[in-house]
């Protein structure tokens, strides 16, 4: 456990050196835990103040439903990760990478480290984020609604949270590009290109499915 957290701290500072140490250390058994932690981090990021407030007042049945949904999401996340790891492997090969599927899978998982560390910010942010109070209004025969918390201090807080989230996203792109680069033994720019290919693959699949249906 100590080695895991030590590597988790080092890899966000020295991605390539730490990734090489991991790859040279034998079988990596931390892939699934890393994916699950990143999934938890994303779920926390997607939560809103009113969701947290609702869960505080929820009964046992609601909590069981929520836990069931979270477990299902995590299972799907792990399966999707393995699919995207294969895409990253073939994309890297296309970009003249030499890493095998196991190394690429490990590199992609450890590239999630910034998202894992984001939990330290996202938990207090989810608790402090104000619930959205919606005030209805009417203009002529039409209606509209105003989120009052977004018009005062909530707006500034949302902007701050948004900037921090953007920082974590950029941090993830940098670290993941470098870990993938080490896994495939090529440049960090090619690592970023591999990530880009992995990112656009779902869009291509959806477009192909839509065109096939038509």
| 139 DSSP 8-state letter | E
Q: Is the pLDDT of residue 205 over 90?
A: no
All residues at 6 or more sequence positions from 176 whose CB lies less than 8 Å from its CB, including other chains: 108, 111, 112, 191, 195
Classify residue 177 by burial, with Cβ atoms within 10 Å: 0-12, 13-18, 19+: buried
Pick the more confident residue, 61 or 179.
179
Residue 145 pairs in a beta bridge with: 136
* Percent of the chain topping pLDDT 70: 79
pLDDT digits (tens, 9 = 90+) for 171-201: 999 999 999 999 999 999 999 999 999 888 8
CA 143 – CA 21 distance, rounded (Å): 60
Model confidence, pTM: 0.79
- Which carries the bigger pLDDT value, residue 64 or residue 114? 114
Termini Cα distance of the chain: 52
């Amino acid at each position: 456990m100590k080695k895991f957290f030590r590597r988790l701290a080092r890899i966000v500072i020295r991605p390539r050196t730490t990734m090489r140490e991991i790859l040279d250390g034998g079988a990596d058994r931390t892939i699934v835990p890393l994916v699950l932690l990143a999934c938890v981090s994303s779920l926390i990021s997607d939560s809103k103040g009113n969701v947290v407030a609702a869960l505080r007042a929820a009964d046992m049945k609601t909590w069981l439903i929520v836990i069931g949904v979270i477990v299902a999401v995590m299972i799907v996340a792990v399966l999707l990760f393995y699919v995207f790891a294969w895409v990253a492997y073939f994309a890297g090969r296309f970009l003249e990478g030499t890493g095998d599927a196991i190394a690429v899978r490990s590199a992609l998982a450890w590239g999630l480290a910034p998202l894992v560390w984001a939990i330290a910010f996202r938990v207090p942010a989810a608790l402090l984020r104000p619930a959205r109070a919606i005030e209805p209004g009417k203009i002529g025969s039409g209606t509209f609604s105003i989120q009052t918390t977004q018009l005062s201090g909530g707006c500034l807080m949302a902007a701050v949270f948004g900037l921090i989230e953007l920082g974590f996203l950029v941090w993830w792109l940098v670290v993941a590009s470098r870990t993938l680069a080490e896994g495939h033994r090529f440049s960090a720019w090619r690592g970023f290109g591999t990530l880009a290919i992995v990112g656009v693959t779902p869009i291509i699949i959806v477009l192909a499915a839509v065109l096939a249906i038509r």
